[in-house]
Structure 1
Amino acid sequence: MGSVAPDSKIVKNWRQHPPSSYSLKINKLSQLTLDKYESRWFLSGGYNWRLVIYPKGNEKDNGSGFISMYVEFDSISTLPMEVFAYLTFFVYNKKENKYFSPQDVEVKRFNALRTVWGLSQVLSLETFNDPEDGYIFEGEQCEFGVDVMIASPLTDWEVVSFDDKLSFPKFTWRVKDFSVLKENLYLSNSISMGGRNWNMKLHPKGDSRADGKCLSLFLCLDDGSETLKVDEKIYVRARLQAMDPHGSNHFTSTIDHWYTKSKEGWGFTQWLSLAKLRETYLDREDTLTVEAEFEVVSVTKYSA
C-alpha cells in the first residue's frame, strides 16, 4: 500500500464543509477485525476512486498507533492511464462539529504502477478512540471522507525564444533622388526576419510631429502581410543607420521594443535633422543609404 512521498508537505486544518468527493460513515468500527476497509468505487473528476481506511493503522507504512487513510485509483477501467490529483482527507469531530482535514499539498501521480496514495498517520488512535475528544459518538459512530481534486492537464502554454543568430540580419535601402522627393511617406521593400516580414517607413521631411526639420524613420511590421493577434507580441532590438558615403561617421539609433497589435511600428519622429543629412549623408548622386540591422528578434509559439 503506497503512502505519502518523503518530500510531501502535510497541512492540517479544521473545516466545517463536508467532503465533496466521498463520505463514509461507520457504525461500531471496533467490531471490524480486519486490518482495512475499502469503500465502493466513486466518481470524481471523471475518474473512479475508492477510499481505503486502516482503523488500527497500516503497520507496513509506519502507521502503527494511527488512523491510516488512502485513495486508490481505478487504473484498469479508467482512461487515461495517468492522472494527477490533490488529496484532502476528513475525520468528523462531533464535539467541534467540524472535520479534521489533513491535506497533502503535493500533487500525486496515479497510474498503473502507482494506484494508491495517502497518509499513514492521519490521527492518533489515542485521540480518535477517546469519546471525550469527539471522533467517536452516538453509539460508536464515526465518519471519514476525502476530496480528490484533479489537476487538469496542461492545455495552454507559450514558448518564447530570443534569436540573436539571425541569417543576413542587415537590410540596406538606397533612397535615390532624396532632395526632390515629393511624397510624405515612402516604404522600403519587404524583408523577412525572425519568421516575419518587415519594412522601413521614411518621411523625407518628417511626419506631422517633426515640424519639417527632421527626417522620420520607422521599422515596422509589413502591414500588407503581417497582422498580430490582440495578445501577441514580438521583441526586436535593431539598429537604424544613415550611412556616411564619405567615411564611417554613420548616424545610428537603436530600437529596443515590443511590437504589438496596437504598436506595429517603432522608430524616431525626429531622427536626423535635414540640415545634417544634406551636409553629411547624401552621396554625389543625391542618394541616402539607410540600413536596418536586426540584433535580436523573438519568436513565440503558442498552444492552439
Structure 2
Amino acid sequence: MEIREASPTHYLLKIESFSLLSESGIDKIESNEFKAGDYKWKMIIYPNGNTHENGSEHISAYLSISGTSSLPPGWEVNVIFTFFVFNQLTDNYLSVRGKMRRFQCIKSLWGLPKFLSHKTFKEASNGYLVDDKCVFGAEIFVVQRQAIGECLSIVKPNGSFKREWKICKFSNLDKLWLSEEFTVGGYKWQLKLYPKGEADNKECDIAIYLHSVDSNNFDHHQKLKAKYNINLKNQKNGGHKKLSYCNWFSAASRTWGYASYMPLTQLHDKKNGYLVDDCIVVEVELEVVLKQSPFPKRRGGGAQGVHLNLLRWNLETCPSNMEYIDLHCPSNIESVVLEDEAAELMMEIRDASPTHYSLKIESFSLLSESGIDKFESNVFNAGGYKWKMIIYPNGNTRENGSGHISVYLAITGLNSMRAGWEVNAIFTFFVFNQLRDNYLSVRGKMRRFQPMKTLWGLPKFLSHKTFKYPSNGYLVDDKCVFGAEIFIIHRQAIGECLSMVKSNDLFKRQWKICNFSKLRKDWLSEEFTVGGYNWKLLVYPQGNVTSKGCHISIYLKFVNAKDFNQHQKVKANCSINLKDQINGGCKKLSYCEWFSITAPTWGFSGYMPLTQLYDEKNGYLVKDCIVVEVDLKVVFKHSVRNLS
C-alpha cells in the first residue's frame, strides 16, 4: 500500500449514496470501457465483496480486458495494475498495487477480492467515505517485451601498450605534429602535439592530446573508455612530467588531453632536460577499459541496443571464502519492506522481462578492480521521456549503500523541457534469476522528477550477500542481468460518477378493460408518470410466448428505456393486481426489478390460467370486462456520467 497525491492515470469512479448500493441489491458495478496501453478495459467493483472469492466484508476490485475479438489468436497481455481509494480529508489516494498478471482468453479478469475491508473503508477518520460519497480508481501498465539492452563484458586483453616518440627539430615545428597510427584494444590511435600551443594557450603552453582515429566513424551509441598517461621525458635527469586521465572517446569527443600540458618557458629551460638538441621525448601509456558498440537488432524487429566490453589487464581470481545468505522469495509475496526503511517497496517474482531497459554484466567480480564505481547507461525512452539507468556495483557510499548494489534512474534531455516541468513516475528495478528463468523485481513508490531532483533510486537495491549466493541464481559464472521499467503517471484519467437516488414516489391506478374476449393481440394503456419516468401497462389477453393460449400475460413497460445508455437503469417495486369484481378480493403478484435499455419490460407471462380467468364464479371477468390495478414505486435511479 502507498499514499500518494497524484490521481490515477487511467480511470476514476465516483459513487454517490454508497449506502444505497446494499439496499438496491446491486452486487457489482461495471464501468464503461476505457483505454490503457492500447487495450480496452473495464473496472468492476463489488461494494459488498465478491463472495465467490471470499471477499465478504470487503470491497472487491477487478479489471476486465474487453474488445478481445479484435486481438490475434493466442493473445496475452501482461499487466501491472493498481487500485485506488480517495481520502477526502487529506486530499490524497491510498493505492494498492497488484502483482503482474497475464490476461488471456481463458483468464480475462484479475483483481483483489479483499481490496479494502468495510471496517477500514467506513471508518470516518480515514476519509474514504464522506457524506456517503467515495471515489475509486485504477491504473494499468502493460508490460511490453521491447527493452533496449546493453551488455557489459570484462575480458583479458593480450597485452599492454607503452610507446615513446622522439620528436626532433622541435623549434622548426609550427602548428600540429601528428604521430603515425597505432593500435590498442582493437582500435587505432594517434598522438597529437601542438608545439606552440593552441587556442587560448597559444604561445604559452605546449598542448598534447590522445586522438581516437576510429571514433570519427562511430554512431551515437559507440564509445571507448581509456586510461592513459602522457609523459614528457627529462632526458638529463632521468625523470619526466606525467599527467594521467580516464576519458570516454566518442564521435562527439574524439580527442582528449591537455591544452596546457607545460608552459613553454619551462619546456625551453635547458636545465630542466625536456628539450635536448632540439628534441623532446613523449611517452604514452594506454589502457582501453571499456568498449561500447551497438549489437544487431533482435529477431522480429526488437529494439536497438548497445554492447559494452570492459577490458582488464590482470585477471585475478575471486576469493572462494565469501559469506553468503540465501534469499527465499516465494512467488506469492505481495508486499515487503526492504532495507530502505524510508520507502515501502514491493518485491515480486515474475516471468516477463523488463519493458524498457536491460543490462547484462559479464565478469562482475572484476568491476571493483577496474576502478569503475558506477555504470551509466545510454539514453533510452520511456513514457515520452529520456532516461539513463545508473548502477553502483559496490554501492553508493554517499547514500549508505555499502555492501549493496545501488540502482538509480536519471531523467535526461532537460533542455527540451518546459519551465517548471515535473514528471511523476513509478519505477521498478530487476535482477534476473538465471537458474529459474525469471526476474526478481523491486518496485518503488511514485517519485517526482523535477529540476531540483532529476535522479531517484534505491541505494540498497540488493545486498551483495543475497546477490552472490549461488542458489539465488542472480550471479552465475560471474554474469548477471539487471533491468528497469518506468511508468509515467499522467493526470488524464477517464472519470465517471455513479448516482444512486432513493425515491419515495408511490403510484396506484386501476384500468377497466372491456370487450376483453374480442381482444386478439396486446392491449396497451396510455402513458403515466412515476418517479419522473413514463410507463405503460401491457396486457396479452390470450397470453404471450410460452403461455400463449393458456394464460393471460400482464407486464409493466418502461417507456424511457429506449433513451437510456447502457449504464442507466431504474429499480421499481411493482404489484399487478387482477380484481375480483364479485367477491371484493384480487389476485396479486409483485416483483422488484431493474428496468433498463436491455430490460425495458417486466411482469408475468403466466399471470393466471385462462380457465381460471373465464370461470364466472371467480369474479375476474364480469360483463366481458376485467379490472387491473397497478401499485408502482420507483425505489432507485442508477446513472453514470462523465466527470469533468
TM-score of the superposed pair, with normalisation by structure 2: 0.36
The equivalent residue for 2:458 is: 119
The answer to whether structure 1 residue 184 and structure 2 residue 521 are counterparts is yes
CA 1:32–1:282 in 2, change beyond 3 Å: closer, same or farther? farther
Contact 1:90/1:146, CA 8 A, preserved across alignment? no
SS of 2:446's equivalent in the other structure is: strand
The equivalent residue for 1:300 is: 639
AA in 2 matched with 1:188: S
Structure 1: tracts of 5 or more residues without a match = none
The equivalent residue for 1:69 is: 407
Q: Where in structure 2 are the equivalents of 1:256-275 lying within 5 Å? A: 256-259=592-595, 263-272=599-608, 273-275=612-614
AA in 2 matched with 1:255: Y
Task: Provide the rounded CA distance (Å) in 2 between the counterparts of 1:82 and 1:251.
Answer: 68
Q: Where in structure 2 are the equivalents of 1:214-225 lying within 5 Å? A: 214-222=551-559
CA 1:176–1:97 in 2, change beyond 3 Å: closer, same or farther? closer
Task: Provide the rounded CA distance (Å) in 1 between the counterparts of 2:438 and 2:520.
Answer: 78
Contact 1:204/1:216, CA 8 A, preserved across alignment? yes
CA 1:6–1:284 in 2, change beyond 3 Å: closer, same or farther? farther
SS of 2:562's equivalent in the other structure is: coil
The equivalent residue for 1:226 is: 562
CA shift for structure 1 position 167: 4.8
CA 1:292–1:127 in 2, change beyond 3 Å: closer, same or farther? closer
Which of 198, 201, 204 matches 2:538?
Answer: 201
SS of 1:90's equivalent in the other structure is: strand
AA in 1 matched with 2:357: Y
TM-score of the superposed pair, with normalisation by structure 1: 0.66
Task: Provide the rounded CA distance (Å) in 2 between the counterparts of 1:150 and 1:5.
Answer: 22
Task: Provide the rounded CA distance (Å) in 2 between the counterparts of 1:5 and 1:195.
Answer: 55
The equivalent residue for 2:446 is: 109
Larger radius of gyration: 2
CA 1:122–1:296 in 2, change beyond 3 Å: closer, same or farther? same
CA 1:25–1:289 in 2, change beyond 3 Å: closer, same or farther? closer
The equivalent residue for 1:21 is: 356
Which of 630, 636, 639 matches 1:291?
Answer: 630
Contact 2:542/2:550, CA 8 A, preserved across alignment? yes
Task: Provide the rounded CA distance (Å) in 1 between the counterparts of 2:393 and 2:591.
Answer: 69
Sequence identity (%): 23
The equivalent residue for 1:44 is: 382
CA shift for structure 1 position 215: 2.8
* CA deviation string 1:20-70 (max 9, x = no partner): 412456796434566x55545421132333323233324565533100113
Structure 2: tracts of 5 or more residues without a match = 1-339
Contact 1:4/1:120, CA 8 A, preserved across alignment? no
SS of 1:274's equivalent in the other structure is: helix
AA in 2 matched with 1:172: R
CA 1:69–1:110 in 2, change beyond 3 Å: closer, same or farther? same
CA shift for structure 1 position 262: 5.3
* CA deviation string 1:171-207 (max 9, x = no partner): 5352343646635212223345677543221123433
Task: Provide the rounded CA distance (Å) in 2 between the counterparts of 1:20 and 1:167.
Answer: 55
Task: Provide the rounded CA distance (Å) in 1 between the counterparts of 2:506 and 2:616.
Answer: 25
CA 1:248–1:59 in 2, change beyond 3 Å: closer, same or farther? farther
Which of 416, 426, 430 matches 1:89?
Answer: 430
CA 1:52–1:172 in 2, change beyond 3 Å: closer, same or farther? farther
CA shift for structure 1 position 226: 0.9
Task: Provide the rounded CA distance (Å) in 2 between the counterparts of 1:64 and 1:276.
Answer: 96
Q: Where in structure 2 are the equivalents of 1:277-288 lying within 5 Å? A: 279-280=618-619, 288=627
SS of 1:226's equivalent in the other structure is: helix
Equivalent residues, number: 288
AA in 1 matched with 2:387: W
SS of 2:431's equivalent in the other structure is: strand
Task: Provide the rounded CA distance (Å) in 2 between the counterparts of 1:86 and 1:171.
Answer: 62
Q: Which runs of 4+ in 1 moved over 6 A?
A: 25-28, 97-100, 151-154, 245-248, 282-285
SS of 2:401's equivalent in the other structure is: coil
Task: Provide the rounded CA distance (Å) in 2 between the counterparts of 1:176 and 1:130.
Answer: 88
AA in 2 matched with 1:201: L
Task: Provide the rounded CA distance (Å) in 1 between the counterparts of 2:498 and 2:483.
Answer: 44
